[in-house]
Structure 1
Amino acid sequence: MKLPQNHAHMGKIVQATQVSAPGMEPHRARIVIILLAICTAMQMSSYGMIFPLFARKIGDFGDGVAVLATSVMAYSLAGVIAAPFMGSLADRFGRRPFILGSFAVFTAAFTGYYLAATSLVFIVIRGLAGALTAGLGPATMGLVADIAPEDERARWIGVIGGGTSAGFIIGPVVGGLLYDKWGYGPPFLASIGIALITFLIAFFIIPETHTRQERRREVLTQKRASRLAPKTGTAVSFIASLPHPLLAFGTLLFVNLSMIFAWFFIDPQLPFYVFDELGWSTAQFGSAISFYGWATLIGSLALGQSSDRWGRKPILIIGLILHSAQYVGLMLTNVYWVIIAAFIIAGLGEALLNPALSAAYLDITPEEHRSQAMGIKGAVGSLGSLLAPALVVVVVGTVPPQTVFLISAALILSTGLLVVIALRLPGRTEAARDLTWEVSQERIMAAQTALHSVTVSAATARKLKSAA
């Protein structure tokens, strides 16, 4: 018997069971995230160009706040239903298909908004767009988590957020100016063209970061865990896959819910309020959104990594306080530049909030369930954007705009107090310790397999020697 053959086989066993963390070279990872941020900026520019026009278009149909709120509800309801499934599918099939698919759907949706001849058609298109683009957020956050080091996640999430903000710097102003001078055609056509170019650029430059080998490894890991775990119901298995501690996860979800609810509670009311009661032009409204975008962009680039240095919880609290400024400003004054200043402060608050919030989710989420967690986050956000306009439909005409702004301000500040009291996040090194433990267990199993092979080989050799 030739023992070297058995030694070679043992080497293969050890090699096959070693674990290495997924990712790519840091330089290439930075390039990929920056390119994705550029695509996001272009996409949000195209959306920002037509966002201020939605209220105008609804008004031309002879409708008002209630119909605009219903269109927001349609988009959000579709997102609530689709986001968790999209997040799980992004874990299973990769990030790239859902990023590209969402960019393609945006192009088609913008075309539909332009061609819509009635409020009903507009609402239906909004609903379809909400369902078919629900995977963009989970896939994007999953991509960042795949390739960004743990201690730099908030920084690179901030870069993606900066891309979103950059889109809202140029888009609303340009769209408002084009509409004020030439009507609907130019801003919508420019928006459709930019969205199409964004899809084509992303198609050629955004790689798949969650490779087939990694997905297969995660599936095998989950199957092994399910075999070893006690037999429980599907609900228990789902709960086990959620980020832990559950109280921290629930608190983060409430932060996300309150932020989205507060904005979407004023969103249908805001354009009609500034157009009809404050006398703003479409360009002025677009400029206000642009100043908010500037603040969020600069804040994301300068402050996006703050929670990596100072901790997630303090930055979340500060961000919520600053973010409430826009609602307080709208409630207390009708002076244009004072409202602009409030929007700038609120934009800085969002620049702190979003990276810290997303990074906190990723800190407490196992690698194989990251897109699922981001999908749940997206679904909760969509739930907020569904419930808020639904409430607007109920109270419109009975509650003055200032009361609407007061409710949003109170909700954000109350959420900050909840974070102070309830949020307890584990140290960010715990995830690294868990990975180290898993690697150690895999290597122990490999060593045991190798030792067993040596024992069997030695026993066989002794038998052959005795027989001889």
Structure 2
Amino acid sequence: MTNCLERGMVHVKKKYLSLLFLVAFLTMLGFGIIIPILPYFAEDVGASSLQIGILFASYNIMQLLFAPIWGMLSDRIGRKPLIAFGLFGFSVTFILFGLAESYAEMLAYRIIGGIVSAAAMPTVTAMVADLFPPDERAKGMGVIGAGVGLSFVFGPVLGGLLSGWGFGVPFFVSGGVALLTFLIILFALPESLPREKRTGSSRVKRGNPLTALFGPLSLLYGIMFIVSFAFAGLETTFALYINDLYGYSSKDLGYMFLVMGIISAFVQGGLIGKMVKSLGEPLVLAIGLILYGIGFFAIPLAANFWALTLTLSLFGAGQGMIRATGTAMITQRTTQGQGVTSGTISSIDSLGRILGPLAGGAVYEWYQSGPFLLGGILMVVMLILFRARYHRLPEPSAQA
């Protein structure tokens, strides 16, 4: 009887995880589709380079501000309503953006889109934390990360093809994909947070994101921020670097990031569970930081296409390890609701994506290899801090 129940639970978890993988892939596919198109579309309505930068930054700023708010709400009313709300808002705002005829319209839709879509992906992460016990959570987070990674492999390629029919078309397709995902959520995805575990229950206390950031898990949140910050700086300057030094085009860059994305998805979807089982999450996280550090320091030494591609592959592997294990370790130890915790992780990531490009661009003007050397130094510092202070982290909670 017990074996039948266990097999039944495994089947339910696999069904949940397959659906959540699909949700993560389709949701982030919409983001990936518009990445190479948005600057050209904005330029077409007369936007300057500064205004284009504001379009990108405004979205991330709204995600930074609102992800914890939606996370707290998902702890109170459940995960499914927030994921559905975020996807529907994503769909509407992207379609409206595709119809925009002025920069002011574009900015308004990006701001609104950042606010509403911040409800979706952090809540998917919280749902994984609801479903998987601490010792299996990194595997679940890895599968979701693989969905995200694959979406950024195929999304930009699809966006480039769709733009041949007009700059608005990729946004219409992104909105349509989000609407399809919304329907999948409504009819196929069950709720993962029982009523008795919601913060509306007198037995469950509410969380405060600021308390989490400066509490006993500050080391792990700091690592997640620095990794996002350093990689965002690389994304901003790497295209300039390979063009200035070697004359490589955006097409070459696309192939490099394609390889990186495939490796990241493979590590997160196929290897993380096995690595964590044999090595433990702290060691896998440390290996990820080492690979990131080597990647940063190796960029100035790489002098041809394949060497640069191999270097980016280190980031793909390291990113899979850091994001899956870091998220799992935080959710295992949090004393707050999984919704507010996942929202806080998302905000930290958004803050890194806001500040990283600013710092990377500024350092690049001073010294071309500067952003990569800075990233490598930051990884070394994070690795030292992690190894020195890991023993001070709270023990994982069976209830988290």
- Counterpart of 1:290 (choices 246, 258, 268) is 258
Does the 8 Å CA contact 1:69/1:389 hold for their aligned counterparts?
A: no
CA 1:300–1:55: 2 relative to 1, 3 Å: same
SS in 2 for 1:52: coil
SS in 1 for 2:203: helix
Q: Tell me what 1:140 maps to.
A: 124
* Inter-partner Cα distance in structure 2 for 1:51 and 1:37: 21
CA 1:62–1:365: 2 relative to 1, 3 Å: closer
Q: Tell me what 2:371 maps to.
A: 404
- Counterpart of 1:45 (choices 1, 26, 29) is 29
- Counterpart of 1:204 (choices 180, 187, 204) is 187
Q: Confirm whether residue 431 of structure 1 aligns to residue 359 of structure 2.
A: no
Q: Confirm whether residue 173 of structure 1 aligns to residue 157 of structure 2.
A: yes
Does the 8 Å CA contact 1:155/1:355 hold for their aligned counterparts?
A: yes
Q: Tell me what 1:347 maps to.
A: 316
Alignment of 1:2-401 (within 5 A): 25-58=9-42, 60=44, 61=46, 63-64=48-49, 66-179=50-163, 184-215=167-198, 219-222=201-204, 238=208, 242=212, 246-247=215-216, 249-271=217-239, 280-305=248-273, 306-333=275-302, 335-366=304-335, 369-391=337-359, 395=362, 398-401=365-368
Instruction: Read off the aligned partner of 1:431 and give its amino acid letter.
Output: S
* Inter-partner Cα distance in structure 2 for 1:152 and 1:161: 15
* Inter-partner Cα distance in structure 2 for 1:417 and 1:99: 37
1:352 Cα deviation (Å)?
0.9
Unaligned runs of 5+ in 2: 1-7
Q: How many residues align?
A: 391
Instruction: Read off the aligned partner of 1:388 and give its amino acid letter.
Output: G
Higher-Rg member (1/2) = 1
1:42 Cα deviation (Å)?
1.8
Query: TM-score w.r.t. structure 2 length?
Result: 0.85
1:348 Cα deviation (Å)?
0.8
CA 1:171–1:284: 2 relative to 1, 3 Å: farther
Identity %: 26
SS in 2 for 1:251: helix
CA 1:359–1:294: 2 relative to 1, 3 Å: same
Deviates more, 1:120-129 or 1:268-277: 268-277
* Inter-partner Cα distance in structure 2 for 1:163 and 1:141: 12
Instruction: Read off the aligned partner of 2:182 and give its amino acid letter.
Output: F
Deviates more, 1:71-80 or 1:157-166: 71-80
CA 1:397–1:259: 2 relative to 1, 3 Å: closer
* Inter-partner Cα distance in structure 2 for 1:208 and 1:267: 36
* Inter-partner Cα distance in structure 1 for 2:358 and 2:85: 29
Does the 8 Å CA contact 2:72/2:340 hold for their aligned counterparts?
A: yes
* Inter-partner Cα distance in structure 1 for 2:191 and 2:265: 26
Q: Tell me what 1:456 maps to.
A: none
Alignment RMSD: 3.2
* Inter-partner Cα distance in structure 2 for 1:396 and 1:25: 51
Query: TM-score w.r.t. structure 1 length?
Result: 0.73
CA 1:153–1:48: 2 relative to 1, 3 Å: same
Does the 8 Å CA contact 1:288/1:343 hold for their aligned counterparts?
A: yes
Does the 8 Å CA contact 2:285/2:325 hold for their aligned counterparts?
A: yes
Unaligned runs of 5+ in 1: 1-23, 227-236, 436-468
CA 1:381–1:30: 2 relative to 1, 3 Å: same
Does the 8 Å CA contact 1:80/1:382 hold for their aligned counterparts?
A: yes
Instruction: Read off the aligned partner of 2:192 and give its amino acid letter.
Output: T
